[in-house]
């Protein structure tokens, strides 16, 4: 293992662990807080989540482009973490729809930096050959961090109420800043981090330049993957908040704690799933693994309506550990496969995340309306149908991209640089 990778290994582990809670923001906890403490209805909750998601959508592509161009990737992560911290500690002191929406929009905008920045830093440290395994390790630490944060949130919320989640997120953000600064600056090869020198290792001589953006729009597999990702997020984004609402309505005093149990259970499943994907993605291929994630998501949506029992809901939520664990580990790998040599790895992540964010925003808004009009079961079944459509699209139109990791196959699937 190269010296720079050895030096950065532990700080990168810590960054993924502590950034986990920060990267996802308040998420379903915001839904419970607004429902039980502020007495908002489900449609209003869905609307404020949608407003925040739209802000994140707008920020995704510019964030990716900024990361591609910047040599101060650590500083960008630190600034974003500070912004999320400030919005978290401010939320308990505001009540109006406009103020809550504004703080969540700011947090979502800042959080748009995290996924592509961490992926870029990782690629810049380990290079493309070790990227799959390292991304699997990243995701494992990310899910472990989420599980730890959710456990603490559940314990402290039992004694102090849902508001404790806001302060916990702020503490995790400060810890993520310390971990970021512990990564040596010279361990990151900014050229490799943006997807140039397709098969080169960090520190090797550089010879290529970024291609034109048109290559991204003419890569059919990239567009198909973007479509499947949008549908995945549309089907997935509203499920956990809806489960949290059901648990909170049935157990008002234990709503946050039970939601934490759901999150911890799923995150604990995601840890081995992410590690397995990292080790086997180059062997089994990307397509069958990602198809499994879509199939599991459809099954999950179909199972929720079968019972309102808390044990059943938590048990079904375990399936989220499979679907989300696969998606988190595979997303940057597939994008890296299809953009290798273009110099647009991070802006491509951002562009697809923009589309995916739109799917997630619509998910919360549409599901909230369906719940008000027809109930929770109808909303879950609708989301399951969307996941099934995503699976059909992916199986029919998406090629295997793992072959793009080999130089002689890159020309078939990866868009080529424009000299």
Determine the length of the chain.
Answer: 419
CA distance 27 to 22: 10
For 151-255, list the strands marked E by DSSP: none
Residue 252 belongs to domain with CATH number: 1.20.1250.20
pLDDT of 67: 87
Q: Give pLDDT, residue 214.
A: 54
Residue 178 has what pLDDT?
Answer: 92
pLDDT for res 404: 47
Asked if residue 418 belongs to a domain, the reply is no
Range of the domain at 151: 7-413
Give the pLDDT score at 96: 83
pLDDT of residue 409: 35
By the 8 A CB rule, do 141 and 16 touch?
A: yes
pLDDT at 2: 53
Task: With respect to residue 419, please indicate whether it lies within any of the assigned structural domains.
Answer: no
Tokens of 66: 């900024």
Predicted pLDDT at 198 = 46
Specify the pLDDT at position 148.
81
Tell me which residues of the chain have a pLDDT lower than 70. Answer: 1-6, 21, 23-29, 157-158, 161-162, 197-218, 250-260, 403-419
Tokens of 357: 């964010």
The answer to whether position 320 is within a domain reads yes
179: tokens are 């971990």
Rounded distance, CA 251 to CA 328, Å?
A: 31
Q: Which residue in 316, 302, 19, 2 sits closest to 141, CA to CA?
A: 19
The 8-class DSSP code of residue 201 comes to P
> Angle at the Cα of 224 (from 221 to 225), degrees rounded to 5?
85
Separation of alpha carbons 382 and 62, rounded Å:
32
Handedness of CA 85, 86, 88, 92 (dihedral sign): positive
Per the structure, the count of domains in the chain is: 1
pLDDT reported for residue 185: 84
Q: Is residue 136 part of a domain?
A: yes
What per-residue confidence (pLDDT) applies to 115?
A: 86
Alpha-helical (H) ranges within 285-304 are 286-303
Asked if residue 2 belongs to a domain, the reply is no
Does residue 232 lie within any of the structural domains?
yes
**For residue 133, is it within any domain?**
yes
> Which of 409, 401, 406, 408 lies closest to 128 in space, CA to CA?
406
Query: Residue 303 burial by CB count (10 A; 0-12/13-18/19+): exposed, middle or buried?
Result: middle
| pLDDT value for 162 | 67
Residue 1 lies in a domain: no
Q: Are 128 and 340 in contact (CB under 8 A)?
A: yes
Q: How far apart are CA 201 and CA 16, in angstroms?
A: 22
């Amino acid at each position: 293992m190269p010296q720079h990778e050895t030096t950065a290994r532990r700080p990168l582990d810590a960054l993924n662990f502590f950034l986990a809670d920060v990267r996802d923001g308040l998420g379903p906890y915001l839904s419970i807080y607004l429902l039980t403490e502020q007495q908002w209805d489900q449609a209003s909750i869905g609307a404020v989540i949608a407003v925040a998601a739209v802000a994140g959508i707008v920020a995704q592509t510019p964030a990716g482009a900024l990361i591609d161009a910047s040599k101060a990737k650590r500083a960008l992560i630190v600034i974003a973490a500070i912004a999320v911290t400030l919005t978290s500690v401010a939320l308990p002191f505001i009540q109006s729809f406009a103020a809550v929406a504004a703080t969540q929009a700011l947090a979502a905008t800042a959080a748009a930096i995290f996924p592509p920045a961490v992926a870029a830093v990782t690629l810049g440290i380990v290079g493309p050959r070790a990227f799959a395994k390292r991304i699997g390790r990243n995701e494992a630490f990310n899910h472990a961090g989420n599980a730890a944060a959710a456990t603490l949130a559940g314990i402290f919320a039992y004694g102090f109420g849902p508001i404790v989640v806001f302060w916990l997120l702020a503490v995790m953000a400060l810890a993520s800043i310390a971990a970021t600064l512990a990564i040596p600056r010279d361990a990151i090869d900014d050229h490799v981090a943006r997807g140039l020198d397709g098969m080169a290792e960090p520190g090797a001589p550089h010879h290529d330049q970024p291609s034109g953006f048109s290559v991204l729009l003419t890569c059919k597999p990239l567009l198909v993957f973007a479509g499947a990702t949008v549908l995945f997020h549309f089907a997935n984004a509203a499920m956990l908040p809806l489960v949290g609402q059901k648990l909170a309505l049935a157990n008002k005093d234990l709503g946050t704690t039970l939601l934490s149990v759901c999150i911890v259970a799923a995150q604990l499943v995601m840890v081995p799933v992410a590690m397995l994907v990292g080790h086997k993605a180059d062997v089994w291929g990307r397509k069958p693994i990602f198809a499994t994630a879509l199939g599991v998501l459809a099954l999950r949506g179909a199972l929720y309506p079968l019972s309102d029992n808390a044990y059943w809901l938590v048990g079904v939520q375990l399936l989220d550990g499979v679907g989300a664990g696969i998606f988190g580990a595979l997303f940057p790998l597939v994008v890296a496969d299809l953009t290798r040599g273009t110099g647009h790895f991070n802006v491509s992540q951002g562009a697809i995340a923009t589309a995916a964010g739109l799917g997630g925003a619509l998910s919360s808004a549409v599901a909230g309306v369906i719940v008000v009009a027809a109930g929770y079961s109808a909303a879950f079944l609708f989301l399951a149908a969307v996941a099934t459509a995503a699976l059909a699209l992916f199986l029919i139109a998406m090629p295997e991209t793992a072959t793009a990791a080999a130089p002689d196959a890159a020309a078939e699937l990866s868009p080529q640089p424009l000299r």
